[in-house]
Amino acid sequence: MASQPPTPDDRDVLANLSSLPEGPRNLLRLALADRVTGCLVGSAVGDAIGLYTEFFTAARAAVEYPEAKFTLHPTPTHFSPDLHRCKHAEGEWTDDTDHSLLLLLSFLNGSGGPGGPARGLPSQQDFAKRLKLWVSDGLRALDRPPLGLGALVGSVVRSPDYEEKPQEAATERWRRSNMQAAPNGALMRTHPLGLMLVADGDEARAFSLAAEISRATHVDPRCVVSCVIGTGLVRACARGEVATEQHVDDLIARARAWYESEGVTGGGSEGTEWPDLDWDELTAHVNPADGLDGLKLDESGKIGYTYKTLGSGVVCLRLAIRRISTQQAPSVAIAVKREEVFEELITDLTMRAGDADTNACFAGALLGAYLGYSVLPGHWKRGLKNGDWLLRKAEALCKVLGVMDGEYNGRDDPDTEIAAGKPPLTEAESEMRWAVLSGDAQTRITERKTARENAAKERANKGRSGNPVLAFVKSFTTGPSTRPA
């Protein structure tokens, strides 16, 4: 029997932490803060690792990274030397994380201090303004350029009335695709929405918010239901409500029930007939018989499909649950195992290539919310570019949610403003930025090609010389004969 969702009347212990004795209250708050932070950092780390193989086939990934291991600290694994990857430095996240941060910063900007987590929830219009600025100027808080813009998002955001009517603009663009476009650009950013409502007892509010923000760019029902499920799972993992695969299945069932009763009509856009969802197709992606193999993540022409990304995250969560549930070791050993689980799953997912950064970003959000920040791989956390900044924003979120001591007022944090308190980039500044980026990328390509060539020469030399002792012995046994003919 499916478990019942929390009711709004409960507001359960997470919404009433102050009613608990001090000891249990502090432990629960620590666990919540760890999982909230784990979700945000885990997604960014997954994004940064996934970039190593984005757009490759699995076969190409195996050639480019034969050791199937990625290190970010102290000496990062070098990217394959191509322009797509080398626009970034190793350890940088991509547009996937940038877009999720637009939602997080919107929420923090509307939070005047500690209090109810429902304060300042992002709206379609606020997100649309932030996304439109990102398309032109990037993430101003960190002065990151807008790399990796998806085709659908780009076409929607450039619509003349996008800021005022984002859903209508998104619907029009979707119609022009013959109502077929269902990419993963909304799912990749949805995880902060689940965290914003982690202490709210009404699961349906998280479903509703996820659907609303999805439709700011992606109105296809498959995109919407992907975001509903993804947001719900992040929230449930962060709340500690996911311990078995049955809990995963139950939440997916509740998300489906919510969508069928309320989610379809929430689509708005008069005159639009929303196609029925093929629930068997969804099930085949979130619980495939062959696990990650069954998702064919590097399938030509289909790598960006929203169900592939949804499935990759859900399958990784299932695999993590199976590994954690079989552990019968002391607590210290379990902590080590948990760290291994995250790294092994994200590495395996990355080596399957396809839209690897987006798949690993979403999977990293789920795994981070399930496992917690404290057991994310240390060398990945330390090597994440702008990781300290991200940790400060995670801490701010925890304070707003009331799971960490201290106060935070988003109005006093210029990073949360739409333009981060900075003037728009001039045309000259924008051109200079792209020129510098292009030069840096070419330098990285040259350096990484040289490093690969040197490594290949070193391997070849080692192969010829082999073990020096054996080579010495071999010279007496296989060298030219000194006897007369």
Residues placed in the known binding site: 94-96, 355, 357-358
CA 417 – CA 446 distance, rounded (Å): 38
Q: Give the SS3 label for residue 139.
A: strand
Phi, then psi, of 86 in degrees rounded to 5: -80, 0
Residue type at 174 in one-letter notation: W
Secondary structure (DSSP) of 9-69: TT-HHHH-GGGS-HHHHHHHHHHHHHHHHHHHHHHHHHHHHHGGGTT--HHHHHHH-TT--
Q: Are 206 and 194 in contact (CB under 8 A)?
A: yes
Q: Which residues are documented as binding site for Mg(2+)?
A: 94-96, 355, 357-358
Phi, then psi, of 305 in degrees rounded to 5: -65, 135
- Whole-Å CA distances, 137 to 130, 134, 214, 316: 10, 5, 22, 34
Q: Are 111 and 76 in contact (CB under 8 A)?
A: no
Cis peptide bond prior to 330, omega within 30° of 0: no
Listed residue (186, 292, 177) closest to 229, CA to CA: 186
CA 113 – CA 3 distance, rounded (Å): 34
Which residue in this structure is represented by tokens 């209090």?
115
CA 81 – CA 466 distance, rounded (Å): 29
CB burial of residue 305 (10 Å; 0-12, 13-18, 19+)? buried
Radius of gyration (Cα) for the chain, nearest Å?
A: 24
Listed residue (223, 201, 227, 213) closest to 365, CA to CA: 227
Listed residue (335, 408, 446) closest to 82, CA to CA: 446
Phi, then psi, of 183 in degrees rounded to 5: -80, 175
| Angle at CA of residue 45, ends 39 and 48, nearest 5° | 140
Which residue in this structure is represented by tokens 């078995």?
244
Read off the tokens for 456. Answer: 């290949």
Start-to-end CA span in the chain (Å): 89
Listed residue (467, 402, 428, 315) closest to 30, CA to CA: 402
